[in-house]
Structure formats: C-alpha cells, structure tokens
Amino acid sequence: MNRQAQAAVMFLLGAALLHAGSTDLYLRYVKAGLQPLLLASGAVLIAAALATVWYERGRARRQRAEEHHHPEPRVSWLLLLPLLALILVAPPALGSYSALRAGTALQKQYVYGPLPAADPVPLSVVGYASRAAFDHGRSLHGRPVRLTGFLALDHSGALYLVRMALNCCAADAQPVKIALTGTLPPVLRPDAWLEVTGTYSPRMMRDPVNNGPIPYLRVTATRPVPVPHDPYDETWNN
C-alpha cells in the first residue's frame, strides 16, 4: 500500500470520526462520554494524513529529479470503500435479535436512593430491573413507574421490554430485560419502541440464556415512541 493510499485512508477515517462525533451517529458505536476522544482522534488522523501528503510530494519531486520511479499497485485504493460506507451508511442500533441471544446483564446494587416525587416515576429499564430483582421492590411498592425500551418476543411467547446497556461501546452492549404482564399492546412488533407505564410485580423469571434474573412489570398503559436520541442505556445506577 503506497503512502498516498495510506494518507487517503487516514483522512477519510478521520473525517468519518469527526462526522460521527459531531452528530448523533457516534451514539450507535460508543457511549456519550467518549465523544471528546472521538473528535480528538479524528483531528489527529486528518493532521497525520495532511503531513503524509506534504512529505510525499517532497519525496516525489526528489525522485523525479533523480529519474527514479516505482509504480505502486492500485488495488490498495479499494480500502477506501469500507470507509465511504462508514460515512454514508448509519448502522441501526442493536435490537431484539441481539437481545434474545444474550443473557440479561443485570448487576446488583447495594444502595438504592429515594425515588423522585414524580407520578409516575421515570426510571430506566436498568433502574427498575435492579430495584425489582435485588431490592425486592421495596422502593417500588405503590409507585407507578414509566419506562422506555424496545420490545422483544422470544420463541415461548414471553414479551420483554429491553434496553441494551453499554460499558464502553456497542461491541460490548448487553441486554437488560423486563418481562411484561398486564395490559399489553394489541400488536406485538419486535423492535418497536414503547413508553410503558406500570407497577411493580413480585413475579420473577430466569433468563433462558444465562439464568439471570428477569423481573416482571405489571403494565397499565403503553404508547409507541420514536427511537430515542441515545438508543443505549449506559446508566447502571439509577
């Protein structure tokens, strides 16, 4: 691979990182806190690409003066195609297909703060599942809650509200699942995003993939919502 192709690849990769980091696209790959690092990496790659082009121009002039020329294979330019795809095509967020093939990643907390006074209480899927599974719903009794996630329907007919949780990036995304009972949507469409209002249920099931705990939520109302600004739930502690 010649230096010109290397510079072009670095420039396009840097441009892709800057484009993703300056829009919501980066949230499909990494968690929100990594945005500054993504932008810095893109700037460094573009600077390195420009420096490489400047150096190669000087070297080419010296070679012409010495009448030396070594042709380079052009196939290396095909490496630019995946980068163009990265810039032009935004991948969808992970959904029910990934969620049903991975065990719930619910983690135990030892301290649970008081819930806000709102009615219903806005909670993340992780927050409700953790309180219901490990705190036995103590803080949830008598409090209607409101959650947002996407639907997943397994082969046994069990319906889950799911949010993929990130530690770092989409490559390590793991599902946190809540089983739904009560007033369910009339049309069950996997990957549809819903805002669900309901109350704590003491029922508990085990994830068939890893035997992890999946608490239930007794649903009282649902409404479809668009895919959120950040489709991943990186907050383990709410």
pLDDT in tens, 127-162: 999 999 999 888 898 899 999 999 999 888 889 999
Reported pTM? 0.69
Q: Which pLDDT does position 218 carry in this prediction?
A: 96
For residue 200, the domain's CATH number is 2.40.50
Q: Is residue 236 part of a domain?
A: no
Residues 121 and 214 in one domain: yes
- pLDDT value of position 47: 82
Radius of gyration of the chain from Cα atoms? 24
Same domain, 164 and 100: yes
102 by DSSP, 3-state: which? coil
Given a cut of 80, is residue 73 above it in pLDDT? no
Pick from 71, 105, 94: nearest CA to 178: 105
User: What pLDDT is stored for residue 10 in this prediction?
Assistant: 77
Q: How far apart are the first and last CA of the chain?
A: 49
Give, for 62, the enclosing helix (H) or strand (E). Answer: helix 35-65
When divided into structural domains, the chain yields a total of 2
Q: CB–CB of 65/199 below 8 Å?
A: no
Residue 231 lies in a domain: no
Which of 103, 121, 84 lies closest to 196, judged by CA?
Answer: 121
Average pLDDT, integer, range 90-97: 74
Does residue 188 contact residue 151 with C-beta atoms inside 8 Å? yes
Q: What is the mean pLDDT of residues 208-232?
A: 91
Question: Does the pLDDT value for residue 236 go beyond 60?
Answer: no
Tell me if 112 sits within 8 A of 131, measured CB to CB. yes
Domain identity same for 210 and 102: yes
- Residue 50 forms part of a structural domain: yes
Q: Is the per-residue pLDDT at 1 higher than 60?
A: no
The SS3 call for residue 164 is strand
Same domain, 117 and 47: no
67-76, 105-114, 119-128, 209-218: lowest mean pLDDT where?
67-76
For 27-71, the pLDDT digits (tens) are 666 666 667 777 888 788 888 878 877 877 777 666 665 655 555
Peptide bond between residue 186 and the one before it cis (omega within 30 degrees of 0): no
Average pLDDT for 63-91: 60
Higher pLDDT, 98 or 151: 151
Which range among 3-12, 84-93, 142-151 shows the weakest confidence by mean pLDDT? 84-93
Residue 237, in any domain of the structure: no
Give the pLDDT of residue 226.
Answer: 92
Residue 222 confidence (pLDDT) above 90: yes
pLDDT at 237: 42
Structural domain range at position 31? 3-88
The span from the CA of 122 to the CA of 126, in Å, is: 12
**157 plus 205 within the same structural domain:** yes
Q: From CA 204, how far away is CA 168, in angstroms rounded?
A: 29
